[in-house]
Amino acid sequence: HSAAQVDFRTTYSSCRDVNVVGTFHVAQLCMSSNPTKRLIHASTKNAKLAFEDGYATSKYVAEQIVSQVPQSSNIRLPFVAYS
């Protein structure tokens, strides 16, 4: 899942639906399918800069959602894109 609204000048509320709610729904879909579907969540170094801007905050919150998924699922957070 690498879809995101990217704008370093925007507010968290502007990015929330795509970056946070979208991640939540994709994770739910993967966990509810039989057999479970694999999801690799793509993040960026901006998630480590949480609360500096709306985009970074939304990516941080999305990572927190993915990190809370049970280990028995096929959802992983191994991919980080640096730019």
Q: Does position 70 have pLDDT exceeding 80, yes or no? A: no
Question: What are 36's two structure tokens?
Answer: 């479970």
Q: How confident is the model at residue 4 (pLDDT cuts 50, 70, 90)?
A: confident
Considering the chain, what percentage of its residues have pLDDT values greater than 90?
8
For 71, half-sphere exposure in the C-beta direction (CA atoms, 13 angstrom radius) is 0
CA distance 63 to 58: 9
Q: Write the pLDDT tens digit of every residue in 26-67.
A: 888 878 877 777 777 777 766 667 677 888 888 888 888 888
Q: Write the pLDDT tens digit of every residue in 5-25.
A: 777 888 999 989 988 999 898
- CA–CA distances in Å: residue 29 to residues 5, 33, 35, 60, 74: 20, 6, 11, 21, 12
